[in-house]
Structure 1
Amino acid sequence: MSKAEVTLLDCWVSPFCMRVKIALEEKGVAYESQAEDLFGGKSELLLTSNPHGKVPVLLHNEKPVSESAIIVAYIDETWTASSFLPPCAYGRAQARFWADYIDKKVFDAGKGICLGKGEEVEVAKKDFIEVIKTLEKTLGDKDFFGGDTFGFVDIIGIAMTSWFPAYEKYGSFKLEDDCPKFSAWIKRSSERESVAKVIPEAEKVLGFMAMFRKMMGVEE
């Protein structure tokens, strides 16, 4: 375990923050979490650490690192035991590609389910399921995206699933019906200590989403 000072500017419900915490847990890195109020007023530290004013921000010896996938890669390169990425260049490139795919596709489609109205929800749900089917095809019969080892793509992806119960509720579907292998991967990954320690209970996320929907005018 490193003795370096590590602080995470955090928001408990953010899947992007969750993936950073999972990466830190996987590496056994001790850290402090500083909660940010993203709705009531962001801290000066956050605003000066990230020009976008977004969490997560990792402060390592007071030096800020922003954007969750970049932070996970930084953690992997800084605490080098048991790398998250494959040993070969091609494998690393593929892992980065699928991590980027998750970032560009999963959250936006899911958000469309939760914040859409009428036909918008059906369109977003169809898009979301197709995205997950693509990931399921890539996963294949492997335990994890990298094979037998929980790695970079798994860390990037499993945090996003913390919002899946909300997508299922507001989209009126069960992902397992369409993507059983991906759902089995969620269950398998969620049993890891690093993940179970970080991912909040589904009911807590659903409570946040109900509040957020009212805030955004989706429901009264």
Structure 2
Amino acid sequence: MTTPSPAPRLDWAGIDHVLLDMDGTILDLAFDNYFWMELVPQRYSQRRGLSLEAGLAELLPQFRAIEHTLPWYCTDHWSRVTGLNLRQLKEEVRERVTFIGGSLEFLHAVKASGRALWLVTNAHPDSWQVKLEQVQLTPMFDAIISSHDYGAPKEDPRFWQALQSQHPFDPSRALFADDSLPVLRAARDYGIGHVVAMSRPDSRLPPRPMEDFIAAEGLGALLPL
């Protein structure tokens, strides 16, 4: 049995803006892992008349080749590659979208505190719109920022520069939570003052080591504000 990590201690008096990733931070990454590693390969293989093993053998190298670039997160790109309508496919299984435990309570607490609450995601609009509609979260955020609007993923310093230009904020007084180490490093390098790593983005899997970042298994561990 895994022992839960101790709750991080944050200086909430020094935080004005709360910037949150979506998949693996607010929402359970189990959906994405199922979608990309099971459902898409299954439908792709059926369409191509291949075995599942052969379909995966075609897709996995293409996934890895552009990992952490903007096309990696783009449903338009993968619809072209696979010949599948990926937004429609997400709609088919949208009932699988669920929260990571404690996420909703955390969001409500941030709103009640009067702090700015922004969704900052690499997800393509086809993805975040379906998911937020499913869990009825869209009105919760003061701003919804997708890296596709800026032409650079969160791993890229240009994303943070564009975010600051369009939505001015004090990075030193911002909290940012994400489950991706390359993204967390980019946020820290930009000067985000409070960076928290989500160590258990998929509820079906054990927590992951998150290097030298403050880590939490879920946003609920950051309460109380």
**What TM-score range do you get, normalising by the shorter chain?**
0.3 to 0.5
Instruction: Identify, as 1 or 2, the structure richer in strand.
Output: 2
Query: Which structure has the higher relative contact order (CA within 8 Å, separation 6+)?
Result: 2
Instruction: Identify, as 1 or 2, the structure richer in helix.
Output: 1
**TM-score with structure 1 length normalisation?**
0.33
